[in-house]
Chain A
């Protein structure tokens, strides 16, 4: 055994200076081999969703074309309008599709680090020559790019799907009209869906690293994402740009109304017609109702205006859609980059 001590070390004698890191591209096969099942699952789910949206989207576009081109006087036209308005209820507000980013984040990203830590395989992966922070960065960035691109592709399809609801003139025909800023719709079109998917992925990655167990990390990802999405939609988004102020009663249906109030003689009178003084309502009751027998707000408003009231509306015009998209996409991208950087940093100096 003492002979061992005299053995010279013949293996690698090259100096540290010439030590080239293992090339990044070698991670491509590693990522594919380790995550192909999860990626196939995401692809299958998104593919099925795309197929479904495509089929019902064609029906929606046909129904919209039929409802807008029929003769408004004919009785069948009312049926066509009702048909369009009650189509595809599940997708109409866009709320169901809000699940796409968190599900990707929770089921693809959260187990990414958590499974390695839970099963102990990090002791294998992080002691290979590739280096553990590079391993983490390569995995997070490559998979983030893939899922973001997939979500981007889906959002192109969704943009097409929702076109009928955004067409100008829907309101005049009593067709359902959605503002591009509508709560469930804004983040499905443009670049927002891709950006939200990216941030869900980044949240999942960090949660997995911090919590180190798969199931709790999935739950934490869903909770954190939901919180962020609710805060963004309800509190942040309206402040991206200063809203416009108008006294025009006919605010376009595509506008996103931040607040409305009635004034008389420059002072605040009431917020909406529901709070209007009784005598004023009495005087305006005789106004004929709208085509679908709902109390038509626009005619009511005209009546109020005739009595010397002015409606002040603060709103975001539909033309600001892309500005809002870039603002939201921008901060989500920055947040995602930060979360991924934090994950890599935690991996780099994690005390096991």
Chain B
């Protein structure tokens, strides 16, 4: 089952195209990171997935073919929006009560236990909590709904490093212990390396890279060699070239078994390194083959 599946997806706001020709399939059981600079279309994609806005072109389904915003989709998806909007004048206990009343499932005991663990008093107004506590409250409310898919839009952008760490630990625990699929957007790469096992890289409204982190890391190598030879390297597709005084660093699409030219060294890459290289080269793309998305492009038909 794909928790989020899009084909030919586009979204316009007036003359601005926030999203264009997005084809994407995020399988269940992952913590998927939606990475990209500001304005890349991450929030737009999440808003479409949760049904807050309709697509301008193409289609998107969630939880294995359900239309976003449909009762079945809303029931299985918990969404924590950017800046974690809460009713500031309601107490934490009231926010729990509110969420319980608005959903079919709500694990009150679980939510209360988590809040107690975090030291968030139930009587405090939501607006009086610190930024980290508000994010944790929003996450607790979302998880108490027992969702199958958790969508988080820039959940840690406003948090300090400790709150960020704690928040991500909670997300990871939900994914591992309860089997919740997670899609979270962020422009903070460092945090994602620990938790994400699926990467969706977006830039300028397009999906640039999509795939399991392990596969992506296994299919890319960082080559280090003489700067003069960088231009002549043609063994494997080059994603990005970073030149220093004497040396050049090439991110190439290659595996550990591929031949390394004499005078060059091959190193494995990290997620952050990989993501940065692609973000610097908006023209480069690494997408799953034609099996998914490409041949089923309804955008060509609907145009």
Contacts and interface: CB of A to CB of B under 8 A. Distances in A.
Tell me what chain A mostly uses at the interface: helix, strand, loop, or mixed: loop
A10 B76 CA distance: 12
A352 B53 contact: yes
Contact of B104 (A3, A119, A129, A132): A129
B197 A4 contact: yes
B155 interface: no
Contacts of A21: 71
Contacts of B104: 19-20, 22, 129
A120 B47 contact: no
Contact of A121 (B76, B86, B146): B86
A130 B146 contact: no
Contacts, number: 131
A127 B97 CA distance: 16
Contact of A127 (B50, B54, B86, B214): B50
Contact of B28 (A9, A27, A128): A9
A86 interface: no
Nearest to A351: B53
Nearest to A20: B104
Interface string B81-100: 11101111010001001110
A9 B181 contact: yes
Given A11-B180, A119-B85, A123-B85, A129 B103 contact: yes
Given A7-B179, A123-B79, A22 B103 contact: yes
A125 B50 CA distance: 12
Contacts of B181: 9
Contact of A128 (B66, B97, B103): B103
A4 B29 contact: yes
A33 interface: yes
A172 B212 CA distance: 94
A131 interface: yes
Nearest to B1: A9
Contact of A22 (B94, B102, B138): B102
Contacts of A131: 71, 74
Given A9-B181, A12-B148, A20-B104, A4 B176 contact: yes
A351 B29 contact: no
B71 A129 contact: yes
B74 A123 contact: no
Contacts of B85: 119-124
Interface string A4-35: 11111111100010011110001101100110
B180 to A, nearest CB: 7
A212 to B, nearest CB: 14
A4 B180 CA distance: 9
Interface of A: 1-12, 16, 19-22, 26-27, 29-30, 33-34, 119-132, 135, 349-352
- What are the 4 closest A-B residue pairs judged by CB atoms, nearest first? A123-B81, A128-B102, A1-B197, A129-B103
Interface of B: 1, 13, 27-31, 47, 50-54, 66, 69, 71-72, 74-79, 81-83, 85-88, 90, 94, 97-99, 101-105, 138, 145-148, 175-176, 178-181, 197, 212-214
10 contacts: A11-B146, A12-B75, A19-B71, A19-B72, A34-B90, A120-B81, A128-B102, A128-B103, A129-B75, A129-B103
